[in-house]
A and B are shown apart, each in its own frame.
Chain A
Amino acid sequence: MTTLALAVRDSGTMLRRNLLRMRRYPSLTFMLIGMPVIFLLLFVYVFGGTLGNGLGGPSGGRAAYANYVVPGILLMAIAGTAQGTALSVAMDMSEGIVARFRTMAIFRPSVLTGHVLGAVVQTMLGLAVVVGVALLVGFRPDAGAVEWAAAAGVLAMTAFALTWLSVALGLVADSPETASNLPMPLVLLPFLGSGFVPTESMPTAVRWFAEYQPFTPIMETLRGLLLGTGVGHHAIAAVAWCAAITAVCFWWAKALYNRDTTS
């Protein structure tokens, strides 16, 4: 069997392990879905009327705001799952199962790959639920099948990048408690971008940060694909950010995992 085939097989086994864990402990999945759904309901039903009126132009209050806010909520859902992944990795590292895996003849990075692929599957399921709720509360995208597929691709790409980051954060944390706190800024980034309000409504310094942080081009790309607003250069920036985060964090996670001396 070639190295690649072994790597794929072992990663598949580890993915199955993570999917089994998801099925056996659904409470974490519900919590990861629950938080973005609560924020969606809060921002659409409580703040939506006022924010919709404040968006300017021919906006139609709550209905217009439901369309505007969904991409931000989707990114929040991805960040929430990333937080869960960091916790899951840290628990694996502290509970000694990884030391056991290291004594076995398996492809070393497959443990991490299993976490990443499992998290991407979990994220896509979570996103489907969030989109379902969004459609119920008035989200009305005008995307065709190609645009939906492209949007799903952008979400998967973002989930993949942020999951590698959270795997690295889970490995660098010295306890599961720390691991659950380290990815917290990821959950806040959609707020400090164009997720909930346009960046031009922010004061200069905040606007500058909001325009140049990674989540803004991703959200603008999603908005463009699903709602027909202009994508412009955002798609290139989104792909570049995701590729860079994935590459850096993959190597960082790999280095941390290989250096770890728990075995």
Chain B
Amino acid sequence: MSTLSLALSDSATMVRRQVKHMRRYPSLTLQLIGVPVLFLLLFVYVFGGTLGDGLGPGSGGRGAYVDYVTPGILMMAVAAVAQGTAISVAMDMTEGIVARFKSMAIARVSVLTGHVLGAVLQTFVAVGAVVAVALAIGFRPNANVVEWLAAAGVVAMVTFALTWMSVAMGLVAKTVESASNLPMPLVFLPFLGSGFVPTDSMPAGLRWFAEYQPFTPIIETIRGLLLGTAIGTSGIAATAWCAGIALAGYLWAKRLYNRQS
């Protein structure tokens, strides 16, 4: 068996382990779905009327706002799963199971890969639930099959990038508690971008940050694909950010994992 096929088979075993974790402890998955759904309901039903009216001329109140906010909520769901991954990795590192894995004849990186691929699956469950709730409360995308697939691809790409970053955060954290706090800024970034309100409604300094942070081009790309708004350069920027974050997160995580004996 070649090194690559061994790595693939070991990674698949670790993914299976993560999926079993998810099935045996569904409370974390439910919580990861629950928070974005609560924010979706809060922003649509409580703030949606006023925010929808404030989006500018021709906007249609709550109906327009549910369309506007859903991509931001999807990013929030992705960030929440990343937070869960950091906790999961930190628990593995502190409970001694990783020391056991290191003594076995398995591809070293497969433990991390298992976490990442498991998180991608968990994210798609969460994102699927959020989209279903959004559709139930009035989200009306006008995307065709190709655009839906492209949007799913963007979500997968973002998840992959943020998960590698959160795996590294889980490895760098001294305790499970600090691992749950380190990825917290990721959950806030959609607020400080175009997730909930247009960036041009923000004051100058904040607008500059909102326009150049990674989540804004990602949100604008998803919005463009699902709702037909202009994507412009956002697609390229989103891909570049995801590639950069994934690479940095992967290298950082691999180094930390190899250093911890």
Contacts and interface: CB of A to CB of B under 8 A. Distances in A.
Interface of A: 42, 45-47, 49-56, 62, 191-192, 196-198, 201-203, 206
Contacts of A56: 53
30 contacts: A45-B203, A46-B191, A46-B192, A46-B206, A47-B47, A47-B196, A47-B197, A49-B202, A50-B198, A50-B201, A51-B47, A51-B50, A51-B54, A52-B54, A53-B53, A53-B54, A54-B49, A54-B50, A54-B51, A54-B53, A54-B54, A54-B55, A55-B50, A191-B46, A192-B46, A196-B46, A198-B50, A201-B49, A206-B45, A206-B46
Nearest to A203: B45
Contacts of B55: 50, 54
B42 interface: yes
Contact of B49 (A46, A53, A202): A202
Contacts of A54: 49-55
B223 interface: no
Interface in B33-81: 42, 45-47, 49-56, 62
Contacts of A55: 50, 54
Given A45-B203, A62-B203, A51 B51 contact: yes
A203 B47 contact: no
A231 to B, nearest CB: 22
Nearest to B198: A50
A63 to B, nearest CB: 11
Contacts of B201: 49-50, 53
Interface residues of B, number: 22
Interface of B: 42, 45-47, 49-56, 62, 191-192, 196-198, 201-203, 206
Given A50-B51, A53-B54, A198-B50, 16 more contacts: A42-B191, A47-B51, A47-B197, A50-B55, A50-B198, A53-B53, A54-B50, A54-B51, A54-B54, A62-B203, A197-B50, A201-B50, A202-B45, A202-B46, A203-B45, A203-B62
Contact of B47 (A42, A45, A52, A197): A197
The dominant DSSP class at the B interface is: helix
Given A46-B191, A50-B54, A196 B202 contact: no
A198 B47 CA distance: 9
A42 B206 CA distance: 11
A92 B192 CA distance: 39
Contacts of A62: 203
A191 B50 contact: no
A-B pairs with lowest CB-CB distance, top 8:
A54-B54, A49-B201, A201-B49, A53-B54, A54-B50, A54-B53, A50-B54, A197-B50
B197 A49 contact: yes
Contacts of A197: 46-47, 49-50
Contacts of A47: 47, 51, 196-197
Nearest to B47: A197
A216 B163 CA distance: 41
B192 A191 contact: no
Contacts of B206: 45-46
Contacts of B54: 49-55
A50 B197 contact: yes
A186 to B, nearest CB: 16
Contacts of A45: 202-203, 206
A77 B206 CA distance: 25
Nearest to A41: B206
A158 to B, nearest CB: 21
A46 B62 CA distance: 19
Contacts of B62: 203
A46 B197 contact: yes
A46 B196 contact: yes
A45 B53 CA distance: 18
A50 B47 CA distance: 11
A214 B197 CA distance: 29
A197 B65 CA distance: 15
Contacts of B42: 191
Contacts of A46: 191-192, 196-197, 202, 206
Most chain-B CB neighbours within 10 Å: which of A55, A197, A198, A206?
A197
A185 to B, nearest CB: 13
Nearest to B62: A203
